[in-house]
Amino acid sequence: MRGVTMPAEIPPITSEILQDIAAHIAEVFWICEPGNPALIYVSPAYERIWGRSREALYADPGQWLASVHPDDRSRIARAFETTRCHGGFSEEYRILRPDGEIRWVRDHVFATLDGNGLPHWVIGIAEDITRRKAMEEELRASREQLRELVRRQQWDRELLRTRIAREIHDELGQSLMALNVNAYWLLHQLPEEDTRLRAKAQEMIDIIGATVKAIRRISSELRPSMLDELGLEEAIRWYVERFVERTGIDCRLDVELGDLEIEGEQATAVYRILQEAFTNISRHSDADGIELGVWVVDNCLEMEIRDNGRGMDRNEVEMSRSFGLMGMRERAAALGGRLDIESEPGKGTRLRLSLPLEPEQAG
């Protein structure tokens, strides 16, 4: 083992056992003095992980930092400096082997202190985490693919809703309007004294009118035409007005989008999240007041929804992550956004959406 001399205060038997253990562990074990890059000892695992000889490292301790990936080097150099003042660090970084292979290591470094409380020895244990990083990258890529699939499915669903809404409005709506005109014509053709038939005709007209209203409501719920024709801000105002009329829940609205044009998937995501959040409030919160704010901050569209309802404890919030909020979170995440919820029993609930915008949109 290159005749390494261990510190005199460590008994010889301890030194032998320590070196024997270090020679058989998969991790790299190393020791140096604070402020002195020269290594007192580095275990054989260094040669397997770094692909370099220990003798070369003993001769030139600078090889250790030189082997760190250029993108990580300055960070690791600063971390080593902290051992003088703070006594250690734990970092993950990449190394470049002589054969060109890049590996990931996790280096846990700590200092032993002398009787005055100052660093005496700097000790490190470096673990090869390349396989773990590869698995993490595969998992990340898999999640991104799944997120993209969800995004496409949601958008395809919106396109289908739009088509169905237009067909209901254009085809069925026009047919009902024609039927309504004919019913009115029929009513006026009936004799005044035939009250029974006139009542039936009027009943038909009323039913047709109610059906037309139901079709308009269903069509707007499938895809509000205002979202495509007048934009997100007007669609939000329209939805809130209808929500207040339908539920009686008061809503204070603060929308500051100015001339910003938010279209397509982003506009749809914001509208659907708003729609789902308001639906949840009306069904579950026992709230009689909502505050809604929509604005742009630092190239992000921010939407905050607060209610004064019963609120939720931690367990209910966790359950909402599994059910009610999952779809909203997926909509936000699919576009690079984030959805957070805060709630306490008796203090209502706060939902906040942050959705990044393209530079030309935010400008």
In this model, does residue 363 exceed pLDDT 60?
no
Query: What residue type is assigned to position 294 of the chain?
Result: V
Tokens of 117: 């409380």
For residue 4, what pLDDT is reported? 43
Burial of 179 (0-12, 13-18, 19+ CB in 10 A): middle
pLDDT in tens, 253-270: 999 887 777 888 888 889
Q: 106, 90 in Cβ contact below 8 A?
A: yes
Q: How far apart are CA 70 and CA 60, in angstroms?
A: 19
Out of 20-29, 31-40, 232-241, the most confident range is 232-241
C-beta separation of 82 from 89 below 8 A: yes
Per-residue model confidence as pLDDT tens digits over 74-86: 999 888 877 655 6
Specify the DSSP element, H or E, that contains 359.
helix 359-362
Backbone angles phi, psi at 83, to 5 degrees: -65, -25
| Segment 134-191, tens digit of pLDDT | 999 998 888 888 777 777 777 787 778 777 877 776 778 788 888 888 888 988 898 8
With contact defined as beta carbons under 8 Å apart, do 94 and 108 qualify?
no
DSSP 273-336: HHHHHHHHIIIII--SEEEEEEEEETTEEEEEEEE-S----HHHHHHHHHTHHHHHHHHHHHTT
Q: Answer whether 116's CB lies under 8 Å from 299's CB.
A: no
Dihedral angle over CA of 162, 167, 168, 172, nearest 10: 170
pLDDT digit string, tens, across residues 200-220: 989 999 999 888 888 877 877
Helices and strands: H and E segment counts in the chain: 14, 10
What is the C-alpha separation between 1 and 42, in angstroms, rounded?
10
pLDDT tens for each residue of 196-205: 999 998 999 9
pLDDT at residue 52 is higher than 80: yes
Tell me what pLDDT residue 318 has.
62
Q: pTM to 2 decimals?
A: 0.54
